[in-house]
Amino acid sequence: MGKNLYESIIHLINISFVIMIANPTQSDEFIKSILNKTLPNQAVSSDATKSVPTIDKKSKKIAKKKSKKYSTPDENYKIISISFPEDLANKKGNKRFKVTVHWKSGDKGGRRDIKFGDKDVQEFIDHGDTTKRDNAVRRMTGYDTPFKPGYYRLHLLNSNQRDLKAAYQQLIKNVVCS
């Protein structure tokens, strides 16, 4: 009998979480009614349903962790500096280069390390074929802000320059605010 009771409780917990997600306002009443039907010999108190965590608290904690980990500026940011791309060929991982972006937005500022360029992919600075570059650029996404790897893949590895140093100088002229 103990095993059946345990299985019933686990089944009820699974059902209650599904119902809390679907309709959090009516989940307490439904859980009480299910527990009363399944366990008729035991009275179910109102405290039994209060111990179940709500989805709102969990999602707030996750959002708080993400906001601390990824500090990004608002729309009025200024790029202070972008480091020259560091070669990651001899390091672990599947990226070729890393840049460090320093930014400021009002009285808030920060930095972000961005790794970009797959080690296995030949870019325009490697092969020099403009048709391959045009096809690669057409498929690219995530190149609209200097805080995404696609931005540096487009502007450094697939720019009109065949030299990384020349592409970097062109990027600095266009992006960095003095």
**Of 72-76, 101-105, 125-129, 137-141, where does mean pLDDT reach its minimum?**
72-76
What angle separates helix 2-22 from helix 27-38, to the nearest 10 degrees? 160
Task: Considering only residues 157 and 26, tell me which one the structure prediction assigns the higher pLDDT.
Answer: 157
Using DSSP's 3-state secondary structure scheme, residue 175 falls into: helix
Are 164 and 128 in contact by the 8 Å Cβ rule? The answer is: no
pLDDT at position 62, please? 58
The structure tokens listed for 129 are: 């074929």
Q: Are 97 and 152 in contact (CB under 8 A)?
A: yes
pLDDT at 95: 92
The whole-angstrom separation of Cα 81 and Cα 176 is 6
- Which pTM was predicted? 0.58
The pLDDT score that the predictor gives to residue 83 is 94
| Interval 53-108: pLDDT, tens | 445 555 555 555 544 445 566 677 888 899 999 999 888 889 999 999 998 888 88
- Tell me what pLDDT residue 166 has: 92
pLDDT at 120 over 60: yes
Q: Where are the domains of the chain?
A: 2-69, 78-175
Q: Write the pLDDT tens digit of every residue in 29-41.
A: 665 665 565 555 5
